[in-house]
Amino acid sequence: MRVCGVDPGLNRTGYGVIRVDAAGRRTALIEAGVIGTAAETDLADRLAELAHAMDEVLAEHHPDLVGLEQLYSHYRHPRTAILMGHARGVLLLSAARAGVSVVSLSPARIKRTLTGNGRANKGQMQRAVMATLNLSEVPEPSDVADALAIALCAGLEAGSGRPTSGRRGRRGRPAELRGTRS
């Protein structure tokens, strides 16, 4: 199975495409990179540029699944949350247009899946990605490492048969949502 992990951002969106075997035990890096947009450009143009670049990644690699980090922003930075929401929406649209299922993953869940610790720091995560993908060095920049971690979490959970969506939160509400093919 091919999985594309995406670390959404308006300035820089990290992406990583990996291959995971059916059992979720063997992984391989296919491609990873950063999609950047210029801060001085109009918001609509930046979103169009992000969508176009993601469309190209999905068209080139034909992933079976896209893993996308859930929106998280501190309440002291509402503008950041709004801009991230715009970028995340465009990325969801690209996946939907490509007919690829999407799984949304919380940062804590990604960390827990890769390290066993839902509060792992950046260095621990980068080393876990490096070890899991058998890379010779830590993936840089951090946007790429985060995207690869997202792809690994989505792929390993899908390969292991563990649910990647529909888990219930403390009050019985869905903890994350999964898009469907249309």
Q: pLDDT per position in the chain (182 positions), as tens? A: 999 999 999 999 999 999 999 877 799 999 999 999 999 999 999 999 999 999 999 999 999 999 999 987 666 778 888 888 999 999 999 999 999 999 999 999 999 999 999 999 999 999 999 999 999 999 999 999 999 999 999 999 887 655 554 333 333 323 332 232 22
pTM score, two decimals? 0.86
Around 119, how many Cα atoms within 13 Å sit in the side-chain half-sphere?
0
Q: Is 45 a catalytic residue?
A: no
Domain count, the chain: 1
Residue 56's domain comprises: 2-160
Q: Evaluate whether residue 31 is within a structural domain.
A: yes
Q: Evaluate whether residue 168 is within a structural domain.
A: no
Q: Is 69 a catalytic residue?
A: yes
Q: Evaluate whether residue 171 is within a structural domain.
A: no
Out of 42, 56, 140, 143, which one is annotated catalytic?
143
Q: Is 143 a catalytic residue?
A: yes
Out of 69, 146, 157, 176, which one is annotated catalytic?
69
